Structure 1
Amino acid sequence: MAVDLVSTSLGGHIEMKAQILAHRGAWTSVSEKNCLEAFERAFAAGFGVETDIRDLDNVLVVSHDPPRSGLALPVDKLFALYRRMNATGRLALNIKADGLALALNALLKDYAIETAFVFDMSVPDMRSYFNSRARVFCRLSDAETHPAFYNKCAGVWLDSFEIPHSPSEWGHKALADGKSIALVSPELHTRPHLEAWSEWRTRLNPAQNDNVMICTDFPAEALSFFQEDR
């Protein structure tokens, strides 16, 4: 692989493994999703992670579904782990509730996190993130064909619902417009992933492009696949 410099900036050169976003951490069983152990495993392997942010009793927590007291991981523990392990992978923060921007920005500042980007917040709530430490990604999918605030966003979260996977043409357009892209691997929607991976490897070449990320339940497999000689 040609890229061998590591940077904590989304705009700098990074290792391919940091472009792999382990979906809710590198878990080995469903119960480990969004748990500290899964994040620790992902960071130790050099991967980035995708995770979900909500609030509970005025505290930001990691939770895909509405959280319950005593069960959700506080976001500051995730960020503390990231800093303690000197992790360099990207943090893709899926914003599941409105009104979290100020609190999240404060935590990003406290832990000197420079590698985070946020996405999936409601369109009105997006406005509050443009002056934060996190980069903002808009969404493009077969159901969302006109991404909100596209020109202001640093990147695009590429997803699909009724089609097998996001076509590489979407990625090429966003890259040509100076955006980073994050591709949602089809297994997140319980669909086969190898056809999508083959297309993306051939046409988007993630191993040679820092601005292409893959969000997947299979981070180790993805790393091996995208680094293979074509």
Structure 2
Amino acid sequence: MIILSHRGYWKATEEKNTETAFLRSFRLGFGTETDVRDHDGSLVISHDPPTSAALSLDRFLEIYREEGAGLPLALNIKADGLQAALKGVLARFQVTNYFTFDMSLPDMLHYFVQNIPVLTRQSEYEPQPLCYEQADGVWLDCFQGDWIDEQTVSGHLDAGKRVCIVSPDLHRRPHEAFWETMAGWETRRSNRLLLCTDFPEDARARFQE
């Protein structure tokens, strides 16, 4: 199982989606999830509506190229119509190990046209993942409770999909019991299974060492 840090590996709230968090994540060998939007004609890193202070996507990828090249990137798409610009920037920085997710359904269709890898979402609110056949994988989210089980994960892996599990801590719920359950799964040995968490070092100690 591959560990992704959520908005970089931050240790204080103000570090989320900052150079500090990304440097820490890449230097420790973690894949990284982050948020992509547009601002004033450029792509930036920002979960919320951005300001001129937002980190540029170019700068994020410079850090990635220097410190984390080859590690997986999960790009949470926060605005419509970014496909062509995003594909161009990723090509310029020679990024190949990545996927996108969380865009609107109409926008998702344009990502397929551009041959950009997309993870469709499955959650308690979306029991049937949209555009499953076209999607590269599934973003498994658990907003209210720990509904994800090994049978669900195994089914997606058997279908040839990548699977990224959202750890309960991303929704401010305790994660220890769910991690304990996951530790007994045979599927956790798959290199097509990822876990996105705010506690990447703890996850590495629990699942990889």
Alignment of 1:99-138 (within 5 A): 99-132=81-114, 134-138=116-120
Compute the displacement of 1:147 (Å): 1.1
Aligned length: 209
CA distance in structure 1 between the partners assigned to 2:47 and 2:151 by the alignment: 30
Normalising by structure 2, report the TM-score. 0.95
Compute the displacement of 1:165 (Å): 4.6
**After TM superposition, which residue ranges in structure 1, 4 or more long, deviate above 3 angstroms?**
131-134
Normalising by structure 1, report the TM-score. 0.87
Which residue, out of 202, 216, 221, partners 2:197? 216
Residue 130 of structure 1 aligns to a residue whose secondary structure is: helix
AA aligned opposite 1:44: R
Gapped runs of 5+ residues in structure 2?
Answer: none
Q: 1:204 to 1:92 in 2, by over 3 A?
A: farther
CA distance in structure 2 between the partners assigned to 1:134 and 1:45 by the alignment: 27
Matched, 1:49 2:32: yes
Map of 1:94 onto structure 2: 76
Alignment of 1:1-230 (within 5 A): 19-69=2-52, 71-132=53-114, 134-206=116-188, 208-228=189-209
Residue deviations 1:34-91 (CA, integer Å, cap 9, x gap): 001110110001100000011100111100011112x211011111111122532210
CA distance in structure 1 between the partners assigned to 2:68 and 2:78 by the alignment: 27
- Give the percent of matched residue pairs that are identical in Structure 1 and Structure 2: 44
Residue 224 of structure 1 aligns to a residue whose secondary structure is: helix
Q: Is the 8 A contact 1:46 1:87 kept in 2?
A: no
CA distance in structure 2 between the partners assigned to 1:74 and 1:131 by the alignment: 25
Q: Is the 8 A contact 2:118 2:135 kept in 1?
A: yes
Residue 86 of structure 2 aligns to a residue whose secondary structure is: helix
CA RMSD of aligned residues (A): 1.4
Q: Is the 8 A contact 1:116 1:134 kept in 2?
A: no
AA aligned opposite 2:47: H
Gapped runs of 5+ residues in structure 1?
Answer: 1-15
Q: Is the 8 A contact 2:8 2:32 kept in 1?
A: yes
Q: Is the 8 A contact 2:77 2:100 kept in 1?
A: yes
Residue deviations 1:184-226 (CA, integer Å, cap 9, x gap): 00011111101111222212442x2100100000000000000
